[in-house]
Amino acid sequence: MAYIQQIAFVLVLAVAIYLLSGRIKQIRKAILLGRDADVSGDSSQRWRTMMLVAFGQQKMFKRIIPAFFHFLIYIGFVVINLEVLEFVLDGIFGTHRLFAPFLGGFYNVLMNIFEFLAMGVLLSCIVFLWRRNVMKIKRFHSREMTSWPRLDANLILVIEIILMLAIFTMNATDQILQGVDPEHYAQTGPLFFSGMLIPIFEGMSTSSLVFVERFAWWFHIVGILAFAIYVTYSKHLHIFLAFPNTYYSQLTPKGEMKNMDTVTNEVKMMLGLPVAEGAANTNPDEIGRFGAKDVTDLTWRSIMGSFACTECGRCTSECPANQTGKLLSPRKIMMDTRDRATEIVKNQGSAGADDGKSLLGDYISKEEINACTTCNACVEACPVNINPLEIILDLRRYVAMEESGSPASWNAMFQNVETNFAPWKFPTTDRFKWADDITLKD
C-alpha cells in the first residue's frame, strides 16, 4: 500500500510540474512580446529595492490594518512551505515526517511555529473575506472588478483557509496515532493549535484515524500543487512576480519621463547640437512606431508589471482623475494590458497580434488615457512598484504622433510650445510684461 501511495504521489507531482512549467512558458512568452527596456543602473540599488519593497513589504505599511494581516499571510506562506518540503520528500521516499528524527526536540518547536503561522493565515483570510464581502471596501468593487476578479480573490482566500484546516486535521489525528503506532508515527510532542482538535477524533477507530490523517495529508499537498498552478492564472501571480518586478523597477525619479531617442536626436540635429554616435545615420524607415498601439509596442517591463498586478486597487483609490469621476483607473490599465498579452499568446497559432484588435481602442479608450494628470500617485501607491503611467504615456504618444488625435486644446498647446517655448500663445519677448507695473520698494 505504501508503494502504491509513493508511485501515485510521484505521478501527481510530475503532472503538476508539467502543467506548471507549461504555464510559466506561456507567461514568459507574453512578457517577451514587449520591446527591450532599459534596465541598466546600480545592481546593489536594485537588490535593495527588491528586498525592501517585495520581501520587506515596505509600501504595504502605508495602510497599517491590511498590511498587518497581509504580512501574516506572507510570512505564513514563506515559512509553512518549509513543511511542504517535508511533505514532498515524504511522498517521494515513502517516509513519514522525515525530518523528525534528525531535529529531535527542535522539531516540536518548529511544528508549533508552523501551526501558529497557519492560524495567523487562517484568521487573516477570514478578515480579508469580511472586508471584501461584508464591509465592501470601495476599491474592491470598482467597475473593472467584474464577477471573475472578485470571485478569484474570494476563491484564493477560501482555498487558503481550507488548506490550513487540513494541516490542523492532519496534525491532530497524527498525534493520536503516535500513541497507537509509535514505530511509524514519529513523536512530535504536543502541538498547541491542532491539540485543541484532538477531542473531535478521539473516539474514532485506528483505521478511521489513519484514513483521516492520510486524506488530510493528500488533500493538503495536492491542494498546494493545484494552488501553484491556479496562481499562474490568478492575480496572486504577484506572489512570484513581485520580486523581479521590483528588481527591474525604474530607478530614476518618478516624475522623470523617458524621451524617445529618435525624436530627441532629430531635434538635436535640427538645432545643431551633438547627437549620439551613429544616430545621425539612422535610416528613418527603420524607426518603429511612435508610442504604443498594442502590447507589442510596450516594453517587456510594462507587460511584466501587468502580470505582477495585485489588483489591490491602491493605485485607483489614489488617482485624482478617478476620484473626480473620470473613467481612468490605473488598475484597469494593468488588467487590460495583461488580458491583451494573454489573448495574443493564446491566439498565436492563428492570428496572434494581427487579429484586428489592439490594446488602444479595444481595451483602453482615449478618454481613459486623456484623463491622466501624470501625477504619479498610482506609481507611488503600488505596493510592488508597478508603473501604469509608463503605459499611459506610450499610448498617448501614439495618439498624438501617429494619429494626430489629441484633443484640440492639447494640439494648440503643443504648437505654442513648439513656436513660443511655452504653453501660452504669446511671444517670449512678452513673457515678463506682467512685471512692468510692479513698483520696487527700497
- pLDDT 10s digits, 47-72: 999 999 998 889 998 889 989 999 99
| Confidence (pLDDT) at 441 | 58
* CATH code of the domain covering residue 406: 1.10.1060
By residue range, what is the domain housing residue 76? 2-31+63-235
| Confidence (pLDDT) at 181 | 80
Percentage of the chain lying above the pLDDT 70 cut: 95
Rounded to whole angstroms, the Cα distance separating 340 from 419 reads: 39
Q: Mark whether 185 and 293 lie in a shared domain.
A: no
Q: Mark whether 79 and 213 lie in a shared domain.
A: yes
Q: Mark whether 141 and 24 lie in a shared domain.
A: yes
Contacts 24+ apart (CB under 8 A), 183-187: 184/96, 185/96, 185/97, 186/96, 186/97, 186/100, 186/101, 187/100
Q: Which amino acid is at 397?
A: R
Q: Mark whether 198 and 301 lie in a shared domain.
A: no
Beta bridge partners of 360: 364
Number of domains in the chain: 2
| Confidence (pLDDT) at 94 | 86
Q: Mark whether 147 and 16 lie in a shared domain.
A: yes
Q: What's the alpha-carbon Rg for the chain, to the nearest Å?
A: 28
Q: Mark whether 135 and 213 lie in a shared domain.
A: yes
| Confidence (pLDDT) at 352 | 57
Query: What backbone torsions phi and psi does residue 139 show, to the nearest 5 degrees?
Result: -70, -15
| Confidence (pLDDT) at 435 | 79
Low-confidence ranges of the chain (pLDDT < 70): 1-2, 276-288, 349-353, 439-442
Is residue 95 a part of any domain in this protein?
A: yes
Q: Cell numbers at residue 112, please?
A: 508549533
pTM of the model: 0.86
Is residue 308 a part of any domain in this protein?
A: yes
The dihedral region occupied by 356, where left means phi > 0, alpha psi between -120 and 50, and beta the remainder, is: left
Q: Mark whether 225 and 320 lie in a shared domain.
A: no
Q: Mark whether 161 and 294 lie in a shared domain.
A: no
| Confidence (pLDDT) at 350 | 47
Is residue 272 a part of any domain in this protein?
A: no
Rounded to whole angstroms, the Cα distance separating 312 from 341 reads: 20
Who's near 350: CB < 8 A, 6+ residues apart? Answer: none
Please check whether residue 308 is in contact with residue 245, taking contact to mean a CB–CB distance below 8 angstroms.
yes
Number of Cβ within 10 Å of residue 252's Cβ equals: 10
On the CB side of 12, how many CA atoms lie within 13 Å of its CA? 18
Please check whether residue 360 is in contact with residue 340, taking contact to mean a CB–CB distance below 8 angstroms.
no
| Confidence (pLDDT) at 386 | 95
